[in-house]
Amino acid sequence: MITKKQISDILKDYNTDDLAIATVCSHTSLQIFHGARKEGLKTIGICIGEPPRFYDAFPLAKPDEFISVDSYKNIPDIAPLLRQKNAIIIPHGSFVEYMGAEKFLDLEVPTFGNRAVLNWESDRTKEREWLEGAGIHMPRLVEPEDIHGPVMVKYHGAKGGRGFFIAKNYEEFLKNIDESEKYTVQEFIVGTRYYLH
């Protein structure tokens, strides 16, 4: 993992009057870019190929600039460009899912927050331990063979809204599960969607 001293050395070369907020373009980045703009900061969206068109529907959340990469796993290759633009990375679940947690830990660009915390966000077991440790009530865990009503099956990591499915019984679970992925099965609770970031 990049050290605090290495990040401090990088920040010495930053123009703090001209900072930019950078992150991977996804549904999560809408709030990040909108908030950065409200704070008067420039924004940089990292995308694959052409800039996503969904930002046209959210002009206040559209990045000031896009940097295109062939793969999100190549983000370390654009670290010098991001540093040149005085970029601070704001990570989110999709960022780590697409790039990989280990590569993120070594990314030579300043980030907001604790880099190691994203290992917890990408691992449902660690995430649950963290939330329960903070006293937050969580849906009950269910063993697959004990499914007798609606449950939420969640794969580890961010999957852009594709990382879960609802099963009403064990047969539905078996029909839809990808055994090659780590997953958690929880009781289904109707409620409002919210993000931890």
Domain boundaries, the chain: 4-121, 127-187
pLDDT tens, position by position, 99-109: 877 888 899 99
What is the helix, strand, coil percentage profile of the chain, to 5? 40, 20, 40
Q: Which amino acid is at 74?
A: N
What CATH fold (topology level) applies to the domain 4-121?
Rossmann fold (3.40.50)
Question: 42 near 84, Cβ under 8 Å?
Answer: no
Q: What element of type H or E holds 52?
A: none
The CA-to-CA distance between both ends of the chain, in Å, stands at 23
**Fold: same for 4-121 and 127-187:** no
pLDDT value of residue 27? 82
Split at pLDDT 50, 70, 90, the class of 48 is: very high
pLDDT(28) > 90: no
The CATH code of the domain at 127-187 is 3.30.1490.20
Question: 83 near 76, Cβ under 8 Å?
Answer: no
Question: 69 near 44, Cβ under 8 Å?
Answer: no
Q: Are strands 151-155 and 164-167 parallel, antiparallel or unpaired?
A: antiparallel
CA quadruple 177, 179, 184, 185: dihedral positive or negative?
Answer: positive
